[in-house]
Structures are given as C-alpha cells and as structure tokens.
Amino acid sequence: MHSKSDGRIDENELVARNVHRYRLERAMSIGELARRSGLSKQTLSKIEHGLGNPTIDTLAQLGAALDVTVRRLLTEWGTPVYVQRADDAEWHTAGHRLERMLDETYGSGYVRTLVLRLERAAGEPQVIEPHAPGTLHHLYVITGKIRTGPLNDTVDLAAGDFVRFPGDTPHRYVCLTDRVVAHMVTTLPQVRQFGSTVTRDGTTPGA
C-alpha cells in the first residue's frame, strides 16, 4: 500500500483501511463478510490489502454488508495525522468576510468543542488513554506552542497551526511555552453496530 506522489492517499489504500477497520469493529471474520456481501474471501482479502480495484457495485455490496454508506468507505476519518501550518493557510473571500478552512469530516455523531488551556509542568507529560474507535481531535493553536498527537507521531505546533489526529490511540499534550491556549473539537462518527440492541427496560426488541 502506498501514497500518491503528490501526498494524497491512494484510493485503494483508503478503501482497504476502512473495510478492515469496519470489519474488525463488528467482530466480523472475512468469511462472515463474504457471506453477507456475496463476494469471495479471495476478493475481500485483496481489497483489504489494497491490491483490489473495487467497482462501485462492489463498494455498494461491501457498504450494505458493513452497514455503512459507500461514501464512508471512501472517506478518511481516523488514521493519519494532518497538519496545516499558519504560513500555509489559504484565506478565501465569502461575502464580506474571509474564511480559512481547517478541516471537514463526514457523517453525524458526537461532536464536542472546547478551549484548551495548558501551563508548562515539571515531569513526564500525562498519556491520554484511547477514546472510542473513530474519535478524531481537531486542534487549532491560539497562543503558545504545543506538542501533541499519537505517542509515535507527535507534532510541534505554534499559534495559527492546526492539526487533526486520531484520538483512539494513546496521545498526549505537551506545553512547550509557559502557557498554551487552543481551540479543540472532538468528533466521533456515529456508526451503527451489528448485534442486538438492549432497551431501557433490559429487553431486546423483537424478542
């Protein structure tokens, strides 16, 4: 699997990662996915290794089997760290104002927005435990400098920089100046899971 020369993620790689991730979230074997989708295990194995070139019809079969839309199979929503530096920012005119697009995510679900204030502390920075699968943090630095991201892929940011990184792996926030103020949005796509649903009274619908 590889990225294109211009830095964009190869579409087959993106589909491979998403199919594999959705399948594991549903505790589904290759054989079970083959049964639900009507595709062969060999075809599915190739797709998950980024070696297949699935058609729209194949993606539709996978989406139906995994209970997601085709667009979700073609949308990046939780793996690579994405950084937008202040010096690289592009501002666009929208009526009487200027706008800078930081990032966009797809699908409804949980969204939390907050202002983060940190002060330089002595000792080893605290490790934040993984959140639910699919969680993304979107952080824009207002003042100060911060080091943040997954433990094995942290980035240093200054005022005006933006980063999006997965919150479903261990991560941390390290204050590199006396104080840091940042705006952070946390998103968690709403993905319906297979299996029975238990109601408030403890019963299973249809049982």
Q: What is the per-residue pLDDT for 157?
A: 97
Cβ pair 77, 136 in contact under 8 A: yes
Contact 188, 133 (CB under 8 A): no
Distance CA 70, CA 82 (A): 23
The pLDDT value given to residue 27: 78
Q: What is the structure's pLDDT at 37? A: 95
Q: How far apart are CA 79 and CA 107, in angstroms?
A: 16
pLDDT on residue 200: 38
Tell me what pLDDT residue 72 has: 81
156: helix, strand or coil: strand
Each residue's pLDDT tens digit in the chain (207 positions)? 333 433 345 788 889 988 988 888 787 899 999 999 999 999 999 999 998 789 999 999 999 999 888 888 887 655 567 888 989 888 888 776 677 888 766 555 678 888 888 888 766 778 899 888 778 899 999 999 999 999 988 999 999 999 999 888 899 999 999 999 999 999 886 654 444 333 334 443 333
